[in-house]
Amino acid sequence: MIVCIPDPASAPLLGDLPAEVEVIAWDGYGDEPENLRHTRIWVPQVEDADELPRKFAAMPELEVILLLSAGVEDMVGHIPDGVVMCDARGVHGSSVAELVLALVLASQRRLPHFLDAQREGRWDLVEGEDMRDKRVVVVGAGDLGEQTARRLRAFDAEPVMVAHSAREGVHATDELPDLLPDADVVVLTLPLTPGSEGMVDADFLARMADGALLVNVSRGKIVDTDALLAELTSGRLRAALDVVEPEPLPAGHPLWTAPGLILTPHAAGHISQAGPRAFALVGDQIRRYVAGEELINVVEGEY
């Protein structure tokens, strides 16, 4: 049984595999390896959606796609009939949630101001905010949202969870108009779907309270960049963005100099253990597949 991964150096990270599994490496470009056409399980490069029809045509026996990321939007609409896709839910949640907390605390405690003052040699004391009793609306109640909420509670904040559909302890997105005015912080951890693209528009932002903080670690297309720039420029809202639209952000873009903004370059999952953890999950999925067991993280729902 052929398993195709993007990089031969990652093969040891899969762990011990059943004897019938043959691992080949192909990044989707260049010469096609021998036996590629017999690939049953494919592990694409992270966020690689270029020339997907050509790649799928090279693997006519493909049955399973195992993604190394939680985001799946690049693959949606391109997957051949009968092929199952699984994401890497659970791999990146801890590192993303840590960055959320870092961004929130940095903004609340005015770290950008103090760093600027340090570079300029100024002892400039300004008042910040702690997280105690702060209401944080977390839009997206999957693994990323839950991990974020757990860390927020450790700082005595009050997370309010929101998802596409309501369930116990979780509000539905259609309740956001009533939730936003009371939020000190709004965190976006939801996937990019046709329903979430452009969700954070001028009306959404206008409902947020004066001085509130918007944090986006999901996808840049969920936020209307022009609408957010208007709120930042006026000084009414603050933001911390790990993802933007367009991305990477081009030189001269107004977000680079927007007031009240902390900007990081899609760094939430960029940690030393991201690869080992993701390929360990891939190895587990391969062993499940060979044993005839149910795969985990199968992508379903609004895609």
**CATH class of the domain comprising 2-91+271-291:** alpha beta
Residue pair 41/6 in contact by the 8 Å Cβ criterion: no
Q: Which of 186, 196, 176 is nearest to 71 (CA)?
A: 196
The rounded distance, in Å, linking the Cα atoms of 37 and 267 is 35
- pLDDT given for residue 71 in this prediction: 80
Structural tokens at position 24: 């080949």
Task: Sort strands 185-188 and 213-216 into parallel, antiparallel or unpaired.
Answer: parallel
pTM of the model: 0.91
Taking phi over 0 as left and psi of -120 to 50 as alpha, with beta for the rest, 118 belongs to alpha
| Chain segment 76-115, per-residue pLDDT in tens | 778 899 999 999 999 999 999 999 999 999 999 999 999 9
Would you identify the CATH topology of the domain 93-263?
Rossmann fold (3.40.50)
Structural tokens at position 23: 């691992």
- pLDDT given for residue 302 in this prediction: 42
| Chain segment 35-71, per-residue pLDDT in tens | 999 999 999 998 777 789 999 999 999 999 999 988 8
Q: What burial letters (b/e) apply to 110-137, b meaning 16+ CB within 10 Å?
A: beeebeeeeeeeeeeeeeebebeebbbb
| Chain segment 233-282, per-residue pLDDT in tens | 999 999 999 999 999 999 999 999 999 999 999 999 999 999 999 999 99
Residue pair 2/37 in contact by the 8 Å Cβ criterion: no
CA atoms within 13 A on the CB side of 226: 1
Domain residue extents for the chain: 2-91+271-291, 93-263
- pLDDT given for residue 23 in this prediction: 97
Same fold, 2-91+271-291 and 93-263: yes
Residue pair 170/49 in contact by the 8 Å Cβ criterion: no
| pLDDT level of residue 303 (50, 70, 90 thresholds) | very low
- pLDDT given for residue 193 in this prediction: 87
- pLDDT given for residue 301 in this prediction: 54
Residue pair 217/96 in contact by the 8 Å Cβ criterion: yes
